[in-house]
């Protein structure tokens, strides 16, 4: 019996013991992905993504900006329900330019426009275009709170600056004029009109075109000649950069003394206009040429000058020559170079309106 059982055990294979764990990541396990077209998933398959071009993005951004501006106009035009709301309507209806004993004043109905020093803003009687520009600024305001921001009333702020200088001169306080003179003399040491590119520059133009240095010389030469003849006679004005160096060179001591004396004797409105022109153009020479061309105080000296008219466009082109050169080589940045170009002309135009007058 026992030999028979042993033979039977050898004939029947032994079963492997049951495994307590089963590996899910083996080659034996099969997993099938459900296709998108499977009836178990409702709806059509998603459309492939389409790339948006830069032009479409720019159009969408412009439309969004236009919508925001439209909403802002509606908010400004609608009456506010809160008495102390920052968007409440203005309290004046008409803006008028009135003649006073000492000049022209701008009135908001029965209230005169005042300077930050609380004195009535009065411009000389010959500057009617300046008074009209100030009145136009206040007529375009929607609320008194906007008058707290100088970019809403640039001509008012510029005229108030000139009046402050004039008042300081009357009171014998020379610190304000000295601070302005000191600031503008620092610009003379690094004047934009005198910072010429080196002779050999790796970013220079090809041989068949005019180099940047030659363009700068061509623009600066007539301006310097006019200043040396009619504004600072006989002074020496040198470029602040050597042909092969980037280290600025100061102007001769005599030139600095003549320019400093000329600044100390400028009338208040011409000095305020020159300050704005220098800060905008980064050039004392361009600012001085513009003020001398349009300033009411230089009407008689211009009669002897035989030179072409030097206006806002010429001043802007002279002070931004290097920027225009770089953008012509590398391209223009949208909403940056174009905005700066228009803002420069706006500031230089305000200088012409400020210093001009009936005698200009």
Higher per-residue pLDDT: 8 or 135: 135
pLDDT for the residue 83: 44
pLDDT for the residue 86: 46
pLDDT for the residue 306: 59
Query: Percentages helix, strand, coil for the chain, rounded to the nearest 5?
Result: 50, 5, 45
The correct CATH number of 174-355 out of 1.10.10.10, 1.10.3580.10, 1.10.12.10, 3.40.640.10 is: 1.10.3580.10
pLDDT for the residue 50: 64
Angle, vertex CA 33, rays to CA 27 and CA 35, nearest 5: 155
- Enumerate the CATH 3.30.2180.10 domain ranges in the chain, comma separated: 95-164
- Enumerate the CATH 1.10.3580.10 domain ranges in the chain, comma separated: 174-355
- Binned at pLDDT 50, 70 and 90, residue 263 comes out as very high
Closest residue by Cα to residue 152 from 160, 161, 144, 164? 144
- β-bridge pairing 104-108 and 95-99: antiparallel
CATH number of 95-164: 3.30.2180.10
pLDDT for the residue 355: 95
What number is the average pLDDT over the span 87-114?
89
Rounded CA gap, 175 and 255, in Å?
23
pLDDT for the residue 208: 47
Q: For residue 233, is pLDDT > 70?
A: yes
Q: For residue 4, is pLDDT > 70?
A: no
The tens digit of pLDDT for each residue in 39-80 reads 555 677 777 766 666 677 778 888 888 888 888 887 766 654
What number is the average pLDDT over the span 97-110?
93
In percent, the amount of the chain with pLDDT more than 90 equals 49
The tens digit of pLDDT for each residue in 276-329 reads 999 999 999 999 999 999 999 888 877 766 556 899 999 999 999 998 888 888
The tens digit of pLDDT for each residue in 15-49 reads 545 444 455 555 545 555 555 555 555 677 777 76
Q: For residue 114, is pLDDT > 80?
A: yes
In percent, the amount of the chain with pLDDT more than 70 equals 78
Residue whose entry in the numeric block shows the structure tokens 């921001």: 149
Residue 341 CB contacts under 8 Å (≥ 6 apart), including other chains: 316, 320
């Amino acid at each position: 019996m026992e030999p028979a059982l042993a033979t039977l055990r050898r004939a029947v294979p032994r079963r492997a013991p049951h495994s307590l764990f089963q590996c899910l990541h083996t080659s034996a396990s099969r997993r099938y992905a459900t296709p998108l077209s499977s009836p178990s998933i409702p709806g059509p398959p998603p459309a492939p993504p389409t790339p948006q071009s830069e032009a479409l993005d720019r159009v969408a951004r412009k439309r969004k900006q236009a919508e925001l501006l439209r909403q802002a106009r509606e908010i400004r035009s609608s009456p506010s329900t809160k008495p102390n709301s920052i968007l409440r309507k203005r309290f004046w209806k008409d803006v008028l330019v009135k003649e006073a004993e000492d000049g022209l004043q701008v009135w908001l109905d029965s209230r005169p426009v005042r300077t930050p020093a609380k004195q009535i803003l009065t411009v000389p009687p010959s500057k009617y275009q300046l008074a009209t520009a100030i009145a136009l600024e206040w007529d375009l305001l929607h609320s008194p709170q906007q008058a707290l921001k100088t970019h809403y009333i640039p001509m008012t702020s510029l005229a108030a600056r000139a009046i402050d200088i004039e008042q300081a001169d009357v009171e014998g306080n020379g610190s304000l004029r000295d601070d302005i003179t000191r600031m503008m003399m620092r610009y003379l040491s690094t004047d934009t009109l005198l910072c010429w590119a080196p002779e050999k520059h790796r970013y220079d133009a090809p041989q068949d075109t005019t180099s940047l240095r030659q363009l700068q010389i061509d623009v600066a030469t007539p301006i310097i000649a006019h200043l040396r003849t009619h504004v600072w006679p006989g002074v020496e004005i040198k470029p602040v950069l050597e042909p092969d160096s980037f280290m600025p060179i100061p102007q001769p001591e005599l030139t600095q003394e003549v320019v400093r004396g000329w600044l100390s004797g400028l009338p208040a409105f011409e000095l305020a206009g020159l300050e704005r022109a220098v800060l905008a153009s980064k050039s004392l020479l361009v600012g001085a040429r513009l003020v001398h061309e349009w300033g009411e105080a230089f009407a008689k000296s211009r009669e002897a000058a035989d030179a072409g008219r030097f206006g806002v466009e010429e001043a802007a082109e002279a002070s931004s020559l290097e920027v225009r050169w770089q953008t012509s080589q590398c391209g223009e940045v949208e909403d940056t170079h174009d905005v700066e170009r228009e803002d420069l002309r706006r500031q230089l135009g305000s200088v012409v309106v400020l210093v001009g007058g009936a005698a200009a």
